[in-house]
């Protein structure tokens, strides 16, 4: 048997090039080959690794095994952290292959787990993954401050679902920075989910309306640059929107750390006049670091602020360890997600940091919950919040 589903040449080649070496579960030499794959840490044998999924994909493709709920449950343990793509010396399209398998699961009649199905239904009906009665999307910003938002501006701030409804302090901090620096910007309560959860649930077929709506909304604002505090949103815009729209985006896409670093270079944001007397460490969000290759901008920002003693983690940069917040894992496997966050928060605390920083609302949310559970007195903040607090 063969050809149980359609696969493009690149993924077909990738699937057949996997040598079962197992390196995808570990970091590189500079990180002393530490364990990095969350799925492997959970399952503790090869099947629970990118290489294992590669072999499973081959067996599915060749019809040696069928699509099933067990295959689904294994695939959804993957946090889409991308450590395998960086550390495999042979191929680098593991996550694309996993997403294809998720699509095939649906086409073969295997339903999503119930919590994931709820997310899909919420996005389709409410344009956000969150359930229940929600406030208006722009309530993250106090009414009296909404006048700061221009309808037309060079800069558009795309807030994202997590900062709109859960980690609203991050959105508040970012617009406060813009306000203090006198930078006009637009944003909109009409923004919709970027589509990432649909894509990572195998429902790429349902992203079209979201993508078109968001791009048209931004185009109407006349913005030439769109800034994101959520790295998953910015990764999805950069990597997938042009494919889904079948055209290049008519604006530049920047994560807030890249944007702040550019302001620093132009002299608009004077980081070296700020003072924070703290020992800090930084968690590289998977979708910012491995997803967009942004490692330097956050460190540049931290290293320029006076008084900061910056300590990097062993599992950092390309070898960062996922906080457990990605790939819809917190929704499907909340205990597992929290175990990962606890491991990461303990690691950050163990190097003596007084502040645990990240640059992603989902990372902040997960690390904050873990720090509370571990009764750590250490504060978890987004870099935008640190900069806003230090900016007079």
Does position 84 bind ligand SF4 by CB under 6 A? Answer: yes
CA dist., res. 392 & res. 387, Å (int): 10
Does position 94 bind ligand SF4 by CB under 6 A? Answer: yes
Binding part of the chain for ligand SF4, among 35-43, 295-303, 341-349, 364-372 by CB under 6 A, reads: 35-43
DSSP-assigned letters across all residues of 53-114: HHHHHHHHHTTSS---HHHHHHHTT-----HHHHH-SS---HHHHHHHHHHHHHHTT-PPPH
Does position 329 bind ligand SF4 by CB under 6 A? Answer: no
Residue 340 C-beta: closest distance to ligand SF4, Å: 9
Number of residues that bind ligand SF4 (CB under 6 A): 25
Residue 362 C-beta: closest distance to ligand SF4, Å: 15
Binding mask 96-135 for ligand SF4 (x = CB under 6 A): ----------------------------------------
Token duo for residue 250? 């008519």
CA dist., res. 291 & res. 197, Å (int): 15
Q: Angle at Cα 275 formed by Cα 298 and Cα 273, nearest 5°?
A: 85
The residue among 78 and 384 lying less far from ligand SF4, judged by its C-beta, is 78
The residue among 28 and 172 lying less far from ligand SF4, judged by its C-beta, is 28
Judge contact between 227 and 254, C-beta under 8 A.
Answer: yes
Binding part of the chain for ligand SF4, among 46-54, 136-144, 192-200, 303-311 by CB under 6 A, reads: 46-54
Does position 285 bind ligand SF4 by CB under 6 A? Answer: no
Does position 19 bind ligand SF4 by CB under 6 A? Answer: yes
Out of 7, 27, 31, 51, point to the residue binding ligand SF4 (CB under 6 A).
51
Out of 11, 18, 236, 381, point to the residue binding ligand SF4 (CB under 6 A).
18
Binding part of the chain for ligand SF4, among 50-58, 120-128, 302-310, 367-375 by CB under 6 A, reads: 50-58
DSSP-assigned letters across all residues of 166-200: T-HHHHHHHHHHHHHTT--EE--TT----SHHHHH
> Which stretches of the chain bind ligand SF4, using CB under 6 A?
18-24, 37-39, 50-51, 54, 78-84, 88, 90-91, 94-95
């Amino acid at each position: 048997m063969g050809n149980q589903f359609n696969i493009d040449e690149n993924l077909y080649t990738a699937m057949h090039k996997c040598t079962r070496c197992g390196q995808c579960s570990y970091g590189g030499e500079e990180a002393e080959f530490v364990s990095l794959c969350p799925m492997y840490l959970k399952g503790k044998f090869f099947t629970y690794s990118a290489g294992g999924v590669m072999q499973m994909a081959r067996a599915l493709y060749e019809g040696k095994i069928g699509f099933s709920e067990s295959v689904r449950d294994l695939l959804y343990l993957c946090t889409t952290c991308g450590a395998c793509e960086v550390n495999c010396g042979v191929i680098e399209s593991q996550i694309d292959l996993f997403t294809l398998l998720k699509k095939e699961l649906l086409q073969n009649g295997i339903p999503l787990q119930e919590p994931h199905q709820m997310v899909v239904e919420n996005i389709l009906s409410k344009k956000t993954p969150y359930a229940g009665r929600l406030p208006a999307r722009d309530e993250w910003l106090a009414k009296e401050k909404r006048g700061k938002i221009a309808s037309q501006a060079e800069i558009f701030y795309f807030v994202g679902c997590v900062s709109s409804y859960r980690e609203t302090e991050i959105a508040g901090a970012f617009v406060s920075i813009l306000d203090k620096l006198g930078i006009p910007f637009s944003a909109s309560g009409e923004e919709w989910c970027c589509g990432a959860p649909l894509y990572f649930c195998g429902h790429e077929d349902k992203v079209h309306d979201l993508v078109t709506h968001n791009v048209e909304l931004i185009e109407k604002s006349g913005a030439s640059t769109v800034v994101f505090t959520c790295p998953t949103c910015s990764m999805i815009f950069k990597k997938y929107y042009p494919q889904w729209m079948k055209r290049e985006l008519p604006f530049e896409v920047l994560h807030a750390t890249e944007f702040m670093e550019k302001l620093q270079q132009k002299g608009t944001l004077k980081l070296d006049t700020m003072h924070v007397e703290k020992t800090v460490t930084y968690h590289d969000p998977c979708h910012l670091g491995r997803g967009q290759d942004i490692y330097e901008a956050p460190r540049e920002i931290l290293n320029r602020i006076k008084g900061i003693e910056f300590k990097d983690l062993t599992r950092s940069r390309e070898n960062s360890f996922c906080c457990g917040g990605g790939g819809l894992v917190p929704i499907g496997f909340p205990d597992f997600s929290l175990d990962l966050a606890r491991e990461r928060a303990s690691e950050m605390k163990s190097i003596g940091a007084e502040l645990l920083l990240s640059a992603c609302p989902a990372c902040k949310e997960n690390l904050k919950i873990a720090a509370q559970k571990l009764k750590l007195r250490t504060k978890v903040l987004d870099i935008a919040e640190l900069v806003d607090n230090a900016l007079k």
